[in-house]
Every structure is written in C-alpha cells, then in structure tokens.
Amino acid sequence: MQFSATQIAEIIKGRIEGNAAVTVSTFGKIEEAKQGELSFLANPKYEEYLYSTEASIIIINESLQLKKNVSGTLIRVADAYSAFASLLDMYQQLKVQELAGIQEPAYIHPSAIIGENVFIGAFAYLGEHVKIGDGTKIYPNAYIGNNVTIGKNTIIHPGVKIYYDCSIGSHTTIHAGTIIGSDGFGFAPQKDGSYRKVPQIGNVVIEDNVEIGSNSTIDRATIGSTIIRSGVKLDNLLQIAHNVEIGSNTVIAAQTGISGSTKIGKNVMIGGQTGIGGHLQVADGTKINGKSGITKSIKIPNTSVTGNPAHDFKAALKSQAMVRALPELDKKIKTLEVLIEKLLKKE
C-alpha cells in the first residue's frame, strides 16, 4: 500500500512543506528511516535526526522551528505523536481487514452465532451458545468457552483462553496468552489445617475499547462479576483477582497485582510492579508510582502516592531529599560535638 503526502495530510489534517506528490509504503524510526518510509518527530531529544534522516515524509509539530534544511517532505500538525499514532492504527486496521473466513481445522459448536466478516483461525475452539460480533478476529489456538459473548471488531490473539459465561465488548483487543475467567483464589481454611475450595461461579465482564496485554490473568468473580470498564488499557503480565472492578480509562503497567474485591476508580494510572491489597478502594484520578504497595484505601481523588506502604508522593520526595542530606548533617554534628567538648574542657 502506498500513500502520498497529500493523502496523509488529508487524513491527519496537516500542512505540507515540500513535495506533496512523494509517496511512502511503510514506517520507520526517524534515526533509521529510509526513502519510501514515513516517520515522525515529537520528542525534542531526537530533533538532530530530523536533519539527517532519509525518510520521505516526516510528521512534525506545527510549533517546531527548523534549525537546518530538511531533505524530506514535512507535514505539520498540532500533535505529531497523536497524528502518527492514528496513522499506525489505520494501517493496522487495513491489515486486519484482510483476514476473513474460517480456517481449518477449527471447532465451532452448532449453537454458536457468528457475525459477518469474522475471522476464525485454525485450531480455535468455540463452545456452546458462543456469540461473535461482526468483524471480530479470533486468531489460531484461541479457546472461547460456553456462553461467551464477544462484541464487534474485537481482536482475540493466538492462545487466548476465555472461560465460560464471560462477556467481551466491542473494539477490544486481547493479546496472546491471556486468560480471562479462570477461578479466583478462594479457599476456606478448615479446622484440620487444610483448605476447602470456594466455588467461583461468577464471570468476567470486559467493556468496549479495552486493550489487555500478553500473558495476563483476569479471574472470574466468586459471585457476580469481575469488571473491566470501557477504555481501560492493561499491560502484559498482570494479575487481576476475583470481583475486582477497574474504572473507565484507567491504565496499569506490567507486573502489577490487584487483590480480590478491590475497586479501582476512573482515569487511574498505576506504575509497574505495584501490589494492591484486597477489599480496598482507589479514588478516581489517582497516580500510583511503580513498585508501590497499596495497603489501605485511597479515598481522595487525584492523589499521587509512592513507596511501600504507599504514601503521599510530594512527602516522599522531601523524605528522599532529607536522606541524601544525612552525610552532610552527620559531618556537622561531629564538628559540633568537637566544639562542645572543647568548651566543656575550658570550663
């Protein structure tokens, strides 16, 4: 597929500087791009490559003032990063649309309802009463259990397992190896020291426009639903326990674990390797620094916390500054001790 600078500018509502007829067929990083490739510049740290890149078309911010001549065609936009992301999304959608039909061998129960323009890859399994919306793509070796519902234009990547009764929304992406709806970690201690399994009879509900990274697990609820609200973006290698609720447009980085029945608000940002205890609440707009440990509820919206146990981010920075000053304070104290000792001897 080839696109001219004119076509790209129309899509991203940009202003062309240079040859409007030049075409590109693929993408490249600005420091490595060759002729026939499209690149972008959003981070000022990479501006030096703007003047040496061989990219045929470069998307830049409207506000950028050039220091030298540029060999490629420029397209100026308000936000180069967002514009480039929208082009990548369009390119990916075009590639995904090429997939259609049902590959063999695949198992589809006769009671399953399959929408139009659906792709089902080889060795996929679709159980009883499964419902698949129009335009959805299910890649090879995926498992879709009984009574699972998947919306429109959703992508289920290879090796994803979705257990029975779970619901997946539209325009959602679940990456390879992720497991949706496995049993929550529920065991009742017995008098003899053993543990009796508590049946997990709920499900998982994932709403629209969600993206879930590879090799993550989202456990089904004991009763009711584990819920991932619309617009949530989850990284790889996450553990989300039974009956957790994650509010809309929240983002969570890799290796984070959220214990059972915890409620995460809207527009929350959680850094990687964070641990969150069970039966807690995290208010809307909270920012949690990576490797934090959340042991109590965060009830004030738009709070920033860090550390283990987590506490106020600004207070933590002050504490760190004080710790760094300790060696100098130690010197001053020793100097004062010497002076005091001398004064005492004079008495």
Side chain identity at 159, as an amino acid letter?
G
How is domain 101-312 classified at the CATH fold level?
UDP N-Acetylglucosamine Acyltransferase; domain 1 (2.160.10)
Residue among 14, 7, 9, 5 nearest 78 (CA): 14
Residues 6+ apart with CB under 8 A from 316: 306, 307
DSSP annotation of 172 reads: -
Give the span between the Cα atoms of 145 and 162, in whole angstroms.
6
Give the three-class secondary structure for 158: coil
Active site residues: 242
CA distance 331 to 306: 30
Q: For the segment 235-292, what is each residue's pLDDT rounded down to a tens digit?
A: 999 999 999 999 999 999 999 999 999 999 999 999 999 999 999 999 999 999 999 9
Give the pTM. Answer: 0.81
Output the CATH code of domain 3-97.
3.40.1390.10
Domain boundaries, the chain: 3-97, 101-312
DSSP letter assigned to residue 179: E
Pairing of strands 3-4, 23-24: antiparallel
pLDDT (tens, 9 = 90+) of the chain, 347 residues, equals 789 999 999 999 999 999 999 999 999 999 999 999 999 999 999 999 999 999 999 999 999 999 999 999 999 999 999 999 999 888 887 777 677 899 999 999 999 999 999 999 999 999 999 999 999 999 999 999 999 999 999 999 999 999 999 999 999 999 999 999 999 999 999 999 999 999 999 999 999 999 999 999 999 999 999 999 999 999 999 999 999 999 999 999 999 999 999 999 999 999 999 999 999 999 999 999 999 999 999 999 999 999 888 778 777 777 777 788 888 888 888 888 888 888 887 76
